[in-house]
Amino acid sequence: MIDTPHLTIAQLADAWQHICAASPADKADPLVLDCAHRLASDPGGEHAHVWVSGLVTMSGYLAWRPGQTAERAALDALHAAAKALADRPCSHDSHPYEAEMDALEDEVWAGDNGLLTGELASPDGDTDTGRILCPVNVAGWARLAADVIAPFSVRRIPAGAPRYHHSCIRTLSGIVNDYPYCDPHDVLTDEAACLPPQPTRGVLAGYLVTMNATCWYAASERITDPAVPAAMLKGVRAAVTLLSDHPCTHGPGEHPDTNDPDHLNRVGYLLRSPGGRAEFAEDYGWDVEDEDEYEEEPLDAWVCPAFLHDLADETLDALKVG
Ligand SMILES: [Zn+2]
Ligand SMILES: [Zn+2]
Ligand SMILES: [Zn+2]
Indicate whether 155 belongs to any domain: no
Asked if 65 and 193 sit in the same domain, the reply is no
- Judged by its nearest atom, the ligand closest to the C-alpha of residue 253 is 3
Residue 26: per-residue pLDDT? 96
Residue range 37-62: mean pLDDT, rounded: 98
pLDDT digits (tens, 9 = 90+) for 131-181: 999 999 999 999 999 999 999 999 999 999 999 999 999 999 999 999 998
Same-domain pairing of 138 and 75: yes
- 188 assigned to some structural domain: yes
**Is 158 domain-assigned?**
no
In which domain, by residue range, is 204 found?
Answer: 163-321
Residues 202-253 have pLDDT tens digits of: 999 999 999 999 999 999 999 999 999 999 999 999 999 999 989 999 999 9
173 and 54 inside one domain:
no
pLDDT at residue 112, rounded to an integer: 87
How far, in Å, is the centroid of ligand 3 from the Cα of 169?
25
Ligand number with the minimum distance to the CA of 48: 1
Whether 1 has a pLDDT exceeding 60, the answer reads no
Q: Is 157 a domain residue?
A: no
ipTM tops 0.90 = no
Task: For 23-42, give the DSSP string.
Answer: S-HHHHHHHHHHHHHHHHHS
- Please check whether residues 172 and 315 belong to one and the same domain: yes
Domain-located, residue 210? yes
Helix 163-176 × helix 201-219 angle, to 10°? 20
User: How many structural domains does the chain have?
Assistant: 2
- Is the same domain home to 18 and 142? yes
Distance 286 CA to ligand 3 centre (A): 20
Residues 200, 313: one domain? yes
CA distance 97 to 164: 19
Alpha-carbon gap, residue 132 to 129, rounded angstroms: 5
Instruction: Looking at the structure, tell me whether residues 200 and 299 fall in a common domain.
Output: yes
Of the three residues 126, 149, 172, the one that is the final residue of a domain is 149
Ligand nearest to the CA of 243: 3
Check whether residue 124 and residue 249 sit in a common domain: no
Does residue 47 lie within any of the structural domains?
Answer: yes
Report how far residue 244's alpha carbon sits from residue 289's, in angstroms, rounded to the nearest whole number: 30
Residue-level pLDDT at 128? 86
Q: What is the mean pLDDT of the chain?
A: 94
Question: Which of 115, 149, 183 marks a domain boundary?
Answer: 149
**Is residue 96 pLDDT above 60, yes or no?**
yes
Domain shared by 143 and 168, yes or no: no
Of 149, 172, 188, the position where a domain reaches its end is 149
**How buried is residue 8: exposed, middle or buried, by Cβ count under 10 Å (0-12/13-18/19+)?**
exposed
- Give dist(CA 126, CA 137) in Å, integer: 12
Q: Taking phi first (over 0 means left), then psi (-120 to 50 degrees means alpha), and beta for anything else, what does residue 152 get?
A: left
Nearest Cα neighbor of 52 from 83, 88, 20, 89 is: 83
Residue of higher predicted confidence among 43 and 128: 43
Confirm whether 136 is domain-assigned.
yes
Both 82 and 184 in one domain: the answer is no
Residues with CB under 5 A from ligand 2 (ion): 90, 92, 134, 136
Is there a single domain that holds both residue 144 and residue 96? yes
Residues 229 and 266 in one domain: yes
Residue 308 lies in a domain: yes
